[in-house]
Amino acid sequence: MKPLLSKLISEEQSAFVPGSLLSDNCILAQEMFHQLHTTKSKAGCMAIKVDMEKSFERMQWSIVRHVLHAFKFPDPWIQLIMDCISSPKFGLLINGSKARWIETTCRLRKGCPLSPYLFILCSQFLSILINRSRHPGIVFKISVVV
């Protein structure tokens, strides 16, 4: 999956992308705010800041599946990825005794090696939706689940 990211991810993305620097985002933000302050546009301008803290832990499996389909991943790959993130079970020892197995919830887990890459793809998909909305006459609905 890692080799495919450079073909799927726009140059604005920098998190978890080899060769990119997080400081690039600071420069981009400064340039954007300079443009907002100096524009003479009568149509109006807007900046959106999205709080991405812990967001990869809150991505639901159904969204991940939808994004993988949108990026045209082959069905066998999608099924393999979904099996990897949705089927693990955990066993606990309580006072030295085995407790019942616990199945994962319907969200990505911290520590899963696929999580950063799936997060990047989902972020890219959101970016595509936002960029499409800049064109006149296109309206879409975003639901945010916290």
What is the tens place of the pLDDT at every residue in 15-38?
666 677 777 777 877 888 888 888
What token pair was written down for 145?
């689940």
Please report which confidence band the pLDDT of residue 109 belongs to, taking 50, 70 and 90 as the band edges: low
Instruction: State the amino acid at position 48 in one-letter form.
Output: I
Per the CB < 8 A criterion, the answer to whether 126 and 74 are in contact is: no
Name 97's bridge partners: 94
pTM (2 d.p.): 0.64
Name 64's bridge partners: none
Please report which confidence band the pLDDT of residue 146 belongs to, taking 50, 70 and 90 as the band edges: very low
The CA R_g of the chain, rounded to the nearest whole Å, is 19
Element (H, E) at 122: helix 115-132
